[in-house]
Amino acid sequence: MTSNIHRKFLNLVPLTMPTNYRNQSYSKIRKDCISKGVLFEDPEFPANNKSLFNSKIDNEIEWKRPKELCRVPKLVVEGVSCDDLNQGDLGNTWFVTACSSLAQEPKLWQKVVTNHKDQEWDDKNLYAGIFKFLFWRFGDWIEVVIDDRLPTKNGNLVFCHSKSRNEFWSALLEKAYAKMYGDYESLESGTVADSLVDFTSGVSEKLETVKLKATLSDPESSNALFTKLCDAKENRALMTCNIQCVKEEVGKYTDKGLVLGHGYNITDVKSITVSRSLQGTIGSSMLYLVRLFNPWGSREWNGAWSDSSEEWKRVAPQQWEKMGVKFQQEGEFWMSFEDLLNHFTAIDICHFVNTSFFSIKKTWAEAILHSEWHHNGRNGGGVVNAPSFLGNPQFLFDINGISDKVMISLEQHDIHPDRQTFGQNLNTIGFHIMKVEENRKYRVHILGQMMFSSEYCKTRSVFGETTLPKGRYVIIPTTAEQGCTGRFMLRLYTGSSASAGELTKEGPTRGCPCLKKHVMVTTITVISVDGLELPSTAKSKESLDPMITIKCEGESIKSNHHTNTTSATYNITGTFYRKKPELPIIVEIENHNVLVNDFLAEGRVDEHGNEAGKEIKCKLYGRKKEAEQVKPGTLSVFIRSSFDLTSL
262 is catalytic: yes
- The DSSP output letter for 643 is S
Q: What are phi and psi of 65, to 5 degrees?
A: -85, 155
Nearest CA-CA partner of 568 in 594, 600, 544: 544
3-state secondary structure of 173: helix
Interstrand relation of 19-20 and 140-147 (parallel, antiparallel or unpaired): parallel
Distances (CA, A) of 486 to 1, 24, 65, 425, 429: 41, 27, 39, 9, 11
CA distances (Å), 278 to each of 1, 139, 285, 454, 484, in order? 21, 51, 8, 43, 59
Q: How far apart are CA 500 and CA 404, in angstroms?
A: 15
DSSP state of 635: E
User: How far out from the chain centre does Cα 346 lie?
Assistant: 17
Residues 548, 587 contacting (CB under 8 angstroms) = yes
Burial of 632 (0-12, 13-18, 19+ CB in 10 A): middle
Q: How many helices (H) and strands (E) does the chain have?
A: 13, 29
Three-class SS of 73-100:
CECCCCCCCCCCEECCCCCCHHHHHHHH
Find the catalytic residue in 161, 235, 242, 262.
262
* Residue 326, amino acid: K
Q: Which of 92, 235, 265, 294 is catalytic?
A: 294
End-to-end CA distance of the chain: 47
- With CA atoms as reference, report the closest residue to 254 among 346, 342, 333, 329: 342
Alpha helices (runs of H) in 419-491, residue ranges in sequence order:
none
Residue 608 designated active-site: no
**Residue 87 and residue 349: Cα distance in Å, rounded?**
22
**Contact call for residues 152 and 74 (beta carbons, < 8 A):** no
66 forms beta bridges with none
Q: How many CA atoms lie within 13 A of 320 on its CB side?
A: 14
Q: How many CB atoms lie within 10 A of CB 401?
A: 12
Residue 583, SS3 per DSSP: coil
Instruction: Give one DSSP letter per residue of 246-271, joined into a string.
Output: -GGGTT-B-TTSPBTT-EEEEEEEEE
Structural contact between residues 243 and 16, judged by C-beta atoms closer than 8 angstroms: no
Any idea which residues carry the catalytic annotation?
A: 262, 294
